[in-house]
A and B are shown apart, each in its own frame.
Chain A
Amino acid sequence: MDFTIPEDLEMVRRTARDYFNDRILPVVDKIEEEDEIPPELIKELAEMGFFGLPFPEKYGGVGIGELGYCLVLEELGAAAPFGNLIGAHTGIGAMSIYLGGTEEQKMKYLPDLCAGKKIAAFGLTEPSAGSDAANLQTTAVRKGDKFIINGSKQWITNGNIADVIIVYAVTDKALGARGGVTAFIVEKTFPGFKVGKIDQKMGLRGSHTAELIFEDMEVPAENVLGEFGAGFVTAMKALDVGRIGLAGGAVGGAQKLLEMSIQWAQQRVQFGQPIANNQAIQWMLVDMATKIHAARLMTYNAAWKMDQGQKCTREAAMVKLYASEMACEVADMAVQIHGGIGYMKEYRIERAYRDTRILKIYEGTNEIQKLVIARELLKAGK
């Protein structure tokens, strides 16, 4: 057993870290304030290759697989809260095409998505279909060589900036999740596509979620993603991948909070000595570090498994569950160690506390992860 990260992936990670330190750290406060990522920055991220990390070179990707993707998201997680922009684009949006699309569709869409010339979104959630994703109300009806889609999606990350949106719609109500849901590759220019309200969120400033509205939206039949009726399977496969990437970001963010907490604990003097001298503080640091270590190894292992082509639905759910719980605990302890300053807007701890909370909700709530793991356990008997 060899846990060494391959040299090329290490180099990608180092380069990502240098880049984020250089170009993103100086603007994170501005992004927080203005709730907007500068378009030049997005362009630069794209040129560096950050929008096509896991995909093979033949589709214009960097070809570093899920493990490399996780390493980069880990670095991004340490620098800024908008890893989910890349996560929604790459991890579930473009990933749906990569996992579910025909060769023709991959060749048509992935190169522009990898190059960041186009941004992707993943449109599954609806007002009545959150955890119960099979309860979609959006319908698609065939009409000649087109499908007519009606309905709406909510809280779709990148919804307001996406050029290509994977829309999951019901094509056979009776079949439901078992063959009744089809995924469509929707371009924002298709007639009948509209972006609705853009949400005000608790955190993740700079990244936006939006409502998408489809009114008799016309989608060419060739834009059925992969097989007709296979939408639900594609969505679940993409989410497996997305969950591992999410864990990578959670680990990176937590690591940063640990480092900030160690530094603060050694610097802040109360009762005539640094607060780090108190075992109460030390033990919090210990818990943080230990859980980060566990989450990191779980993440790398799941990513590696995925790169080996092994099925890892169970691991992906476990990693997402554990890493997000870990990140929230770490954020909470970081605030505690920082005391009042940890609650103040001027310091990045407060922000991290808010930004971390979403990890337990999206890409399947943690309760849903437990449901997935339980199902796998009962099926396998171990």
Chain B
Amino acid sequence: MKVAVLVKHVPDTETRIQVKPGDKKINEEGVTYIISPFDEFAMEEALLLRERLGDVQITAVALGPQKATEALRTCLALGADDAILVSDPAFEGADAYVTAKALAAALKGGNYDLILAGKQAVDDDAAYVGTAVAEFLDLPVINLVTKLEVNKAAGTAVAARDLDGYSQVIEVKLPAVFTAQKGLNNPRLPALMGIMKAKKKEIRTLNAQALGLAPNELGAEGAKVEVKEMFVPSKARKNKVLTGAPAETAPELVKLLAEEAKVL
């Protein structure tokens, strides 16, 4: 079986995001990058599929600048067999639509039985690419998957989705696209040996030309949406001090934490 995993290299969730005034993207200086956490679930699921089914070939695919190879190296260290970097300066300014189109072009003809992606990337939270890739490839998509079972012989998969208040179990004929939701699995860290072995594995780079995409399909020109403005909201912090006897303030505090701060 062949499984493709889509991964995005995103700023570490612990990074303090900064935007230079007037810019329409974040200031990348000093930012450390990670694999988007939902994509880690997708990658882990591919590894689990291989452990369960045996013969599974895993290809990790990322769209991004050269630096995004780091995300692919991590996938290779985890156990992906090979990797594809979709990269071209012309992608600068691409939106999720262009990204999905390019990724679909890179996946086309790869004969993947499953395409796994995160339900959304934690940087732009578009929650769009997995679904759009399926659309471009004319494949079924099941989003927000929390359980996945593949029946190799029948060429089908059964996926469970936890929705608000109920769960759904869906069977689908492969090939298909699945997007991973938290709860699907517990991603592992790469074994150190894997990191060194990953050095010897291949990362193919595909540029726009190799994908057969025309200039007007790329970057800002091909995008369907345009970022108008980007800024870090000023934090008007409202401190609240409760006074009175603990027996009275405690329930009030719990109420505020639950309803206003929404941390409970």
Q: How far is the CA of A277 from the CA of B121 in the complex (A)?
A: 41
B192 touches A49 (CB 8 A): yes
- Does A63 have its Cβ within 8 Å of any Cβ on chain B? yes
Closest 6 CB pairs of A and B: A49-B192, A62-B192, A49-B193, A11-B195, A12-B195, A63-B196
**B77 CB contacts on chain A under 8 angstroms:** 11, 15
**B126 CB contacts on chain A under 8 angstroms:** none
Which residue numbers of B lie inside 8 Å of A, CB to CB? 70, 73-74, 77, 189-193, 195-196, 198-199
Q: How far is the CA of A16 from the CA of B192 in the complex (A)?
A: 8
Kindly count the residue-residue contacts between A and B in the assembled complex, taking CB atoms under 8 Å apart: 44
Q: How far is the CA of A19 from the CA of B189 in the complex (A)?
A: 7
Interface string of A201-220 (1 = CB under 8 A from B): 00000000000000000000
- Does A34 have its Cβ within 8 Å of any Cβ on chain B? no
From 105 to 156 in chain A, residues with beta carbon under 8 angstroms from any chain B beta carbon are: none
Contact of B73 among A11, A47, A62 (CB under 8 A): A11
**What are 25 of the A-B contact pairs (CB < 8 Å)?**
A7-B73, A8-B73, A8-B195, A11-B73, A11-B74, A11-B77, A11-B190, A11-B195, A12-B196, A15-B77, A15-B192, A15-B195, A16-B192, A22-B189, A48-B192, A49-B191, A49-B192, A49-B193, A53-B192, A57-B193, A57-B196, A62-B192, A62-B193, A62-B195, A64-B192
Q: How far is the CA of A29 from the CA of B226 in the complex (A)?
A: 51
Q: How far is the CA of A7 from the CA of B196 in the complex (A)?
A: 10
- Knowing A8-B199, A62-B196 are in contact, say whether A47-B74 is a contact too (CB < 8 A): no
**B192 CB contacts on chain A under 8 angstroms:** 12, 15-16, 48-50, 53, 62, 64, 72
Distance to closest chain A CB from B31 (angstroms):
15
- Knowing A8-B199, A11-B77 are in contact, say whether A18-B189 is a contact too (CB < 8 A): yes
Q: How far is the CA of A274 from the CA of B11 in the complex (A)?
A: 32
* CB closest residue in chain B, given A23: B189
**A62 CB contacts on chain B under 8 angstroms:** 192-193, 195-196
Q: How far is the CA of A47 from the CA of B190 in the complex (A)?
A: 11
Q: How far is the CA of A16 from the CA of B74 in the complex (A)?
A: 13
Instruction: Give the total of A residues in contact with B, Cβ under 8 Å.
Output: 19
Q: How far is the CA of A334 from the CA of B189 in the complex (A)?
A: 32
**A48 CB contacts on chain B under 8 angstroms:** 189, 191-192
* CB closest residue in chain B, given A11: B195
From 39 to 64 in chain A, residues with beta carbon under 8 angstroms from any chain B beta carbon are: 47-50, 53, 57, 62-64
**A19 CB contacts on chain B under 8 angstroms:** 189
Distance to closest chain A CB from B134 (angstroms):
32
Q: How far is the CA of A49 from the CA of B73 in the complex (A)?
A: 18
Q: How far is the CA of A296 from the CA of B234 in the complex (A)?
A: 39
> For A18, A49, A64, which residue has the most chain B Cβ atoms within 10 angstroms?
A49
Distance to closest chain B CB from A67 (angstroms):
13
**A15 CB contacts on chain B under 8 angstroms:** 77, 189-190, 192, 195
B196 touches A8 (CB 8 A): yes
**B190 CB contacts on chain A under 8 angstroms:** 11, 15
* CB closest residue in chain A, given B190: A15
Q: How far is the CA of A63 from the CA of B74 in the complex (A)?
A: 17
Distance to closest chain A CB from B178 (angstroms):
26
> For A11, A49, A63, A72, which residue has the most chain B Cβ atoms within 10 angstroms?
A11
Q: How far is the CA of A12 from the CA of B189 in the complex (A)?
A: 10
Interface string of A53-86 (1 = CB under 8 A from B): 1000100001110000000100000000000000
Interface string of A1-42 (1 = CB under 8 A from B): 000000110011001101100100000000000000000000
* CB closest residue in chain B, given A48: B191
Q: How far is the CA of A62 from the CA of B190 in the complex (A)?
A: 12
**B74 CB contacts on chain A under 8 angstroms:** 11
Distance to closest chain B CB from A22 (angstroms):
8
**B193 CB contacts on chain A under 8 angstroms:** 49, 57, 62
Distance to closest chain A CB from B123 (angstroms):
19
**B198 CB contacts on chain A under 8 angstroms:** 8
Q: How far is the CA of A15 from the CA of B70 in the complex (A)?
A: 13
17 further A-B pairs in the complex, CB-CB below 8 A; given A12-B196, A15-B190? A8-B73, A8-B196, A8-B198, A11-B70, A11-B77, A11-B190, A15-B195, A19-B189, A22-B189, A47-B191, A48-B191, A49-B192, A62-B192, A62-B193, A62-B195, A62-B196, A63-B196
Q: How far is the CA of A47 from the CA of B192 in the complex (A)?
A: 9
Q: How far is the CA of A57 from the CA of B191 in the complex (A)?
A: 13
From 318 to 332 in chain A, residues with beta carbon under 8 angstroms from any chain B beta carbon are: none
Q: How far is the CA of A22 from the CA of B186 in the complex (A)?
A: 13
**A12 CB contacts on chain B under 8 angstroms:** 192, 195-196
* CB closest residue in chain B, given A8: B199
Q: How far is the CA of A280 from the CA of B74 in the complex (A)?
A: 44
